[in-house]
Amino acid sequence: MVETAETRAAAARLLTRFEALGAERVEAAILQPAGPLLDLYGEDIRARAYVTQDPLRGEVMLRPDFTVPVVEMHLARGNGAARYTYAGEIFRKQEEETGRPSEYLQVGYEHFGGADEPAADAEVFAAFHGILAPLGLKPATGDIGLLTAAIRGLSTTEARKGALLRHLWRPRRFRALVERYRAWRPATALHGSPDSPEIGLRSRAEVEARLAALATDAKEPPLSGMEAEVLDTLLRLKETAPVVLSQIRDIAVDFPAVAPAADMFSARLDALARAGIDVDTLPFEASYGRTTLEYYDGFVFGFYAEGRPDLPPVATGGRYDALTGVIGGGAAVPAVGGVIRPGLLGELGVAP
């Protein structure tokens, strides 16, 4: 699909709006090395990104998002506080006939190094909210940090917590893991023949190490029913933000591990209110951002056109501190940002 002149003009106006908020305009190459993207997103990204072969650089991808190159650029500059904005095409393969474009413009705004986390979350959300205000979109918010705090607070082993955290974004496997840890299970049987030769890179020592880990895990008590229910309850929370906050406070009475997350939630609502957002009507859904936005690890948000379930969200964003640590191979940097698809504005018949 070719972007129309109207869409390009809308993208240019959005860039100007973000620049007016103090963002520096940056660019990113369309051909991105495939390795870092594959390492981050796993093999699934191959189903979504165009992969091609460069004779000198090896596998490259047509830019599937801006986040990774913008984080790399920010880290290479050395780590101060910064705000960036960008606009350009991104490319997403559609393996099924969805009618959605596989090439479209995206305009983004990223905020790095904000030491006051609730204030930075609120600033970014308010920026998108303000720019999109004339469209009458429905906001959605969530908080991956609430879920990770709950998992880290479980009274079970680090190994089990690590497995749950790793699969937080895969709801089916996450549920299977919770069920597995709730049930009592006998020590694992050995599979295969003891006479089979050791072949391949995964060594017998690695097999023995996992068997030992399984034996240790089998001696652990099952996950308590109360804690499994807490996870369930948290994942189902869906109400206006203040109502959810009071529900989290209730949960924190029996499960104090979520108390700091509730404090953060509360501070963020205060910061949002100071930024002019009507938090009393702001929707919150604990599971929001759990399925598709794998790199977010804190506040997440989106803006949707009501009555148009056929359209993807007009804007999405969130906090991704941990991603910066993964990309940089060092300490995480506070990072929160989001993107708008200007092509959808024309579909909605508006020009912000």
Complex with other proteins: residue 1 or 211, whichever CB lies closer: 211
CB 188 within 8 A of CB 214: yes
CB 49 within 8 A of CB 92: yes
Please give the Cα distance from 209 to 54 (Å, whole number).
39
CB 279 within 8 A of CB 269: yes
Residue type, 271: A
| Exposure letters 245-256 (e unless 16+ CB within 10 A, then b) | bebbeebbeebe
Residues 6+ apart with CB under 8 A from 71: 110, 323, 324, 327, 328, 335
Give the residue among 141, 71, 186 at the shortest CA–CA distance from 290: 141
Please give the Cα distance from 86 to 240 (Å, whole number).
32
**Interacting residues with other proteins (CB under 8 A):** 38-39, 42-44, 46-47, 95-97, 163, 166-167, 170, 172-174, 176, 180, 188-194, 196-202, 204, 206-207, 209-211, 214
What count of Cα atoms within 13 Å lies in the side-chain half-sphere of residue 320?
A: 23
Complex with other proteins: residue 80 or 194, whichever CB lies closer: 194
Complex with other proteins: residue 214 or 243, whichever CB lies closer: 214
CB of 185 to other proteins, least distance (A): 12
CB of 160 to other proteins, least distance (A): 11
| Exposure letters 68-85 (e unless 16+ CB within 10 A, then b) | bbbbbbbbeeeeeebbbb
Take residue 301 and report the two structure tokens written for it: 């948000």
Complex with other proteins: residue 45 or 105, whichever CB lies closer: 45
CB of 110 to other proteins, least distance (A): 26
Complex with other proteins: residue 35 or 221, whichever CB lies closer: 35
Beta strands in 130-254 (DSSP E): 138-143, 238-240
The DSSP secondary structure of 129-163, one letter per residue, reads HHHHGGG-PEEEEEEHHHHHHHHHTSSS-HHHHHH
Complex with other proteins: residue 168 or 348, whichever CB lies closer: 168
CB of 285 to other proteins, least distance (A): 21
CB of 44 to other proteins, least distance (A): 5
CB of 183 to other proteins, least distance (A): 13
Please give the Cα distance from 181 to 220 (Å, whole number).
9
Beta strands in 246-324 (DSSP E): 283-285, 299-304, 315-319
Length of the chain equals 352
Complex with other proteins: residue 2 or 189, whichever CB lies closer: 189
What count of Cα atoms within 13 Å lies in the side-chain half-sphere of residue 308?
A: 17
CB of 166 to other proteins, least distance (A): 6
Complex with other proteins: residue 158 or 306, whichever CB lies closer: 158
Complex with other proteins: residue 155 or 188, whichever CB lies closer: 188
CB of 107 to other proteins, least distance (A): 29
